[in-house]
Amino acid sequence: MVRSLEEESLMSGITHRVAQLLSEGEPGSTVTVGGWVRTRRDSKQGFSFIELNDGSSMAGLQVIADNTVPGYEETIKGVQTGSSIRVTGELKESPGAKQRVELHAKSLELVGTSDVETYPLQKKRHSFEFLREIAHLRPRTNTFGAIARVRNRVSHGIHTFFQSRGFLYVHTPIITTSDCEGAGEMFTVTTLLQESRAQGQESRAESQEPSAASLDPGSSTLDYSTDFFGKKASLTVSGQLEAEIYATSVGPCYTFGPTFRAENSNTTRHLAEFWMIEPEMPFYELDDNMQLAEEFIKFLINDVLQNCADDMEFFNQRIEKTVLETLRHIVEKDFRRISYTEAVDILTSAGRSWDYPVEWGHNLQAEHERFLTEEHFQQPIIVYDYPRAIKPFYMYCNDDGKTVRAMDVLVPRVGEIIGGSQREHRLDVLESRIKECGLDPEEYWWYLDLRRFGSVPHAGFGLGLERMLLLLTGMQNIRDVIPFPRTPKNAEF
């Protein structure tokens, strides 16, 4: 791509990021920075304080501009909250108490103006609900800048953790035709709708709306054999089954990508599009799986605490005043492992009434999980060996004939953050389980092949990235820890 000189100089004009200057900038050096103005305060003695933020850190750089700066009088009027500027000047030690260094401008360029009358972000606190409506501007706020940096760090840490252990990063498909993964409602991927729309317009030139029947994917008029992929295709709800293919050939591996669920969920913990990490390990049994999950969560917490200290301090002060204490607590103690049966015993003998009765064989309700992790143990717990009747077909069946080797990691405040299991690797058991679950073994021919040829015990789990971010940041709504949340009735931006 050919770049104009002007663009070239815009790109190359910046010599430093603000974070760099605040931590290690040498007084006396000449630097050029660019970013967005948070506030400006004028002194009547003919100079201005500009708080400049370029997104590299929580703290901004204080810029001092006076009337020796060329064009100061005209330029400074446009230097307002939201505008973008580029400043060249000398870094000096600051007499002010709140920063080590500040930038004394020699030149000040107003790159992009911003009308403070209409710029939605003001020099005041905004509600998260309001900021959600301006998701294109919210990363310019302290909170969402910090979330972006922590999210970036966690993503980095995920790769660091697995790569340092020799895991392979595997790209499992986004579009899948195995519509039987059982993890939830799926979004259909089809080109039939635009075809039927075109046909509808041909046949009925007056009407812009195709008939409802021809567009209803559930109606018999849609023939997926004529669709793009020749069969019904969907967005993935999990890369697990494909990850198992690679785990049983190239060894321990992990996926990290977007996942889609078409559930009509309206909660602070659910998204229609979210990011999930799914490691899958050959020769791992359930205990090994639990051990890895615990080490993984602890690693990510430590990594963020070390590398996002300012942002974490901000979350602790402004968002959730116990978040640092909670995280340190989690890192220090071993996760408590209890079987589902033990969990039921604890709940039934807790001496309190439940909105939903506790009974062996039923799923643990949110109130039950919250009691266990927040009140009874007050730390992360791993519940394992769930009743087989309430778990998917691929989980390893225990000898008791009643339970499978499933595990859920539950953490205070967030609830379930990891779900996983040891996989059923015995061909005959898996086949009968597929039938038991009312599924067709034919559909799983390749999955069964893995058990037919060189099967090994293996296990894996899924970590929800956004739920991990809720735990790390203390934020309460999952829609605020992903840049552009997709939820029922909302896919703006």
Partner RNA sequence: UCCCCUGUAGCUCAAUCGGUAGAGCGAGCGGCUGUUAACCGCUAGGUUGUAGGUUCGAGUCCUACCGGGGGAGCCA
Q: Are strands 61-66 and 101-112 parallel, antiparallel or unpaired?
A: parallel
Phi, psi (deg, nearest 5) at residue 490? -150, 110
In 68-165 the beta strands, taken as DSSP E runs, fall at 84-93, 101-112
**CB of residue 56 to RNA, shortest distance in Å:** 17
**CB of residue 419 to RNA, shortest distance in Å:** 3
CB 48 within 8 A of CB 65: yes
**CB of residue 9 to RNA, shortest distance in Å:** 29
Phi, psi (deg, nearest 5) at residue 177? -110, 0
CA separation for the pair 214, 266 (Å, rounded):
29
**CB of residue 480 to RNA, shortest distance in Å:** 9
**CB of residue 267 to RNA, shortest distance in Å:** 4
CA separation for the pair 248, 178 (Å, rounded):
19
**CB of residue 148 to RNA, shortest distance in Å:** 18
CA separation for the pair 40, 63 (Å, rounded):
9
Q: What angle do CA 469, 470, 471 make, to 5 degrees?
A: 90
Residue with Cβ nearer RNA (196 or 474): 474
Residue with Cβ nearer RNA (227 or 481): 481
**CB of residue 225 to RNA, shortest distance in Å:** 29
Residue with Cβ nearer RNA (451 or 479): 479
CA separation for the pair 418, 410 (Å, rounded):
7
Residue with Cβ nearer RNA (50 or 312): 50
Run of H or E residues at 233: strand 233-235
Give 433's DSSP letter.
H
Residue with Cβ nearer RNA (196 or 485): 485
Please name the residue that has the structure tokens 């064989």: 361
Residue with Cβ nearer RNA (51 or 242): 51
Residue with Cβ nearer RNA (246 or 461): 461
Residues of this chain that interact with RNA (CB under 7 A) are 39, 41-45, 49, 51, 62, 64, 80-81, 94-99, 102, 104, 116-117, 120, 122-124, 126-127, 129-130, 132, 183-184, 238, 261, 263-272, 274, 276, 356, 363, 365-367, 415-419, 462-464, 466-467, 476-479, 488-490
Tokens of 207: 């009407």
Tokens of 382: 């791993």
Residue among 13, 65, 482, 59 at smallest CA distance from 272: 482
Residue with Cβ nearer RNA (274 or 384): 274
Residue with Cβ nearer RNA (412 or 462): 462
213 residue type, one letter? A
Residue with Cβ nearer RNA (80 or 379): 80
Q: Are strands 336-339 and 381-387 parallel, antiparallel or unpaired?
A: parallel
Residue with Cβ nearer RNA (227 or 369): 369
CB 56 within 8 A of CB 17: yes
Task: Give CA separation, 174 vs 107, 183, 204, 240, 250, in Å.
Answer: 49, 15, 36, 12, 21
**CB of residue 38 to RNA, shortest distance in Å:** 8
**CB of residue 190 to RNA, shortest distance in Å:** 20
Tokens of 338: 């209890």
Q: How far is CA 439 from its chain centroid?
A: 32
**CB of residue 385 to RNA, shortest distance in Å:** 15
How many other CB atoms sit within 10 Å of the CB of residue 119?
14
**CB of residue 332 to RNA, shortest distance in Å:** 23
CA separation for the pair 314, 374 (Å, rounded):
24
Handedness of CA 95, 97, 98, 100 (dihedral sign): positive
Tokens of 388: 């087989």
